[in-house]
Structure 1
């Protein structure tokens, strides 16, 4: 891999302000940052994983407490 693909980061967090702040800070440092929205209901873990994999990130910053969705550990 090379270029921006090596620096692609996905941020998964249910707090919009935090995820936007992380994305901005990482972008300023030259990372290709994508934010993946957390589904509103807890019955869609496969949809969340699919959305993350679709972006093909090198790194995933995952909030372990995703509010109404549940935890990022299960």
Structure 2
């Protein structure tokens, strides 16, 4: 029973070492988890709406005029 604090400390420092070694992976996961947990769902709905509106307008607006088909005439 006396060794349990040492085991807990060992796991803690192993987790810290893992997070430091794989910070390129850990940081984005933590940011995504924070955003999903603490950003209100209404904000996410507004973000999704803005993205889809932008994508729809980009898809429907041609970037260059489309030439008429001559049909061989």
TM-score tier, shorter chain, comes to: under 0.3
Structure 1 length as normaliser, TM-score? Answer: 0.22
The structure in which a higher percent of residues are helix is: 2
Name the TM-score, length of structure 2 as normaliser: 0.22
With a CA cutoff of 8 Å and minimum separation of 6, indicate the structure with the bigger relative contact order: 1
Larger Rg: 2
Structure ranking higher in strand proportion:
1
